[in-house]
A = this chain, B = another copy of it.
Amino acid sequence: MAKAPQAAGLHRASLTKLHDLDAALELMYYGWRGMTLEADAYLAKQGLSRPHHRILYVVARRPDIAIGALIEILGISKQALNRPLNLLVERKLVTSKRSPEQHRSKLLRLTEAGRRIEQRASDHERKVLREAFDRVGASGAAGWVGVMEAIADSN
């Protein structure tokens, strides 16, 4: 976990389009990168990366989530979760306690520091989105949401 992501892909375009939807396809790629670029750079400065952010993001929105539920949501294996989560606990960004009644599962929460980092990383992403939405106005934003929902639900 280190290293800021590099330039990559340069400027989009420069490729001739073979199909009418190639431009849209590339926009999805560069859009994803555009949204995450600053956030990844910020996380890298903190010695963290995307998987850590995903954990922080989910735990922030589901305080007292158990490990098993977190695994489900992230869609990764228990072992894959282990390392990044332990790092977050070591760094005191996440606390892991057994609850009073339900001792069987551990409950995860963000510490103040964890909340701060989650917020800042996500803020970078939200900032990019906000500026884009502002640029195109409410109707454009609504269109974007409609398309993305259709894509997200296409599986």
Contact = CB atoms under 8 A, between A and B. Distances in A.
Main secondary structure of the interface of A (DSSP, over half): helix
Nearest to A153: B34
A70 to B, nearest CB: 11
A99 to B, nearest CB: 19
Interface residues of A, number: 64
Interface in A1-27: 6-10, 12, 14-19, 21-25, 27
Interface string A125-142: 110111111011001111
A74 interface: yes
The listed residue with most B CB atoms (<10 A of its CB), out of A35, A38, A62, is A35
A68 to B, nearest CB: 13
A49 interface: no
Interface of A: 6-10, 12, 14-19, 21-25, 27-28, 30-35, 37-38, 58, 60-62, 72-76, 122, 125-126, 128-133, 135-136, 139-155
